[in-house]
Chain A
Amino acid sequence: MKKYIFLTVLSFILSSCGTSKELYSWSMYQKASYNYLKKADEKSTELILDEYKKVISTQKGIRKAVPPGIYADYGFLLIQKGNLTEGVENLKKEIQFYPESKIFIDRILKLIEK
């Protein structure tokens, strides 16, 4: 009898949907990015910068890697805020971790140099 109860519980666990761990963890990034796109004021910029920092520093996803696009968008925002050195560093990190981004990011780096 116990065996069947165990089986039932196990089958629930194995077949349940959407509870498995994801490739990356994102903190509150999605809400922050909507908020920033909508408002683009000082407060929303601060909030999304915080989220970028969190996503970069604490990765609980399966890959334990920073998700695609995060370094680049973070760098882009830093540059817009006038922090050129750190911004460019982050853009270069995007290429380092995701070589497929090179075509696009190199184009951006050239635009900045001009």
Chain B
Amino acid sequence: MKKQLYLLVVISILITSCGPTSKLTKSQAYPEIYKQKPLAVLIMPPINRSTAVEAKEYFHTTLNVPIANAGYYVIPPFLSMEILKRESAYDSELFIDRPSLEIFRDIFGADIALFTIISKWDKSSVASNVKVEIEYIAKSTLTNEVLYSRKGEVIYNTSMSVGNNFLLNLVASALNTAATKYVDVAKACNSYTLSDLPAGKYAPKYGVDQQEMSGLKNFRVRLPK
């Protein structure tokens, strides 16, 4: 009896813990982040190689929240968008392979330029699934090294979409329209992927999470969990 109960405790821990992790700790997977201690992150306009034009904006407007929540300073997204457009730098393809990103350090004070490449955004006509393939690449504006990168294949079931707080939805009905329905898909991809970012300066775990496990560099996942 006792043994069974112990087993139950162990199983319950196993099935409720966060997704699969890699065999690397965060300091092994992202050593340069601990070394360079980047603070300010510039969100680059997503590179959209999928067939769905609209995917770019879903991601562009939802990237700042998880990065700020991880403790980093995110350069004001709308203001930086405006300046990138003015400087004819709105196309991230022009910068992703460039040998130096110092220009973003000079203009925005950015330590990191965060690139995203969307390679798939397919809405299934049968099930209410959206299949997304996206890669996140954080490059240092100081050394041009890749400090963080993960690539994911996400299947998101929109019928299981969270946020079914009736009262909240009632108040916010102007924002919960069909047009914003897919914002949840991008939000889920971003927060799932970026959840293993080492904590930034404003987070309580800053500088003490080296031994936590990092996520898999390449992963497949069904969301929401």
Contact = CB atoms under 8 A, between A and B. Distances in A.
B17 A17 contact: yes
B74 to A, nearest CB: 5
Contact of B73 (A7, A14, A98): A98
Nearest to B172: A28
Contact of A23 (B19, B71, B83): B71
Contact of B180 (A34, A61, A72): A34
A47 interface: yes
A24 B17 contact: no
A104 B12 contact: no
A61 B202 CA distance: 12
Give the dominant DSSP class at A's interface: helix
A31 B172 contact: yes
B160 interface: no
B98 interface: no
Contact of B109 (A8, A26, A103): A103
A100 B40 contact: yes
B34 interface: no
A59 to B, nearest CB: 12
8 contacts: A17-B17, A33-B77, A34-B180, A34-B183, A63-B202, A68-B64, A68-B202, A72-B76
A69 B175 contact: no
A34 B187 CA distance: 11
B25 interface: no
Given A30-B187, A104-B109, A69 B12 contact: no
A15 B13 contact: yes
Interface in B39-98: 39-40, 57-58, 60-62, 64-65, 68-80, 82-83
A48 B19 CA distance: 34
Nearest to A70: B76
B5 A4 contact: yes
B215 to A, nearest CB: 12
A88 interface: no
A31 B187 CA distance: 10
Contacts of A61: 69
Contacts of B19: 17
Interface string A58-94: 0001110101111011001100000000000000001
B174 interface: yes
B211 interface: no
Contacts of A26: 65
B206 to A, nearest CB: 11
Given A4-B2, A34-B183, A37-B61, 9 more contacts: A22-B69, A23-B68, A23-B69, A31-B175, A63-B202, A68-B202, A69-B74, A76-B79, A103-B107
Contacts of A63: 202
Nearest to A61: B69
Contacts of A35: 175, 179-180
Interface in B116-160: none
A34 B180 CA distance: 7
B183 A30 contact: yes
A47 B145 CA distance: 39
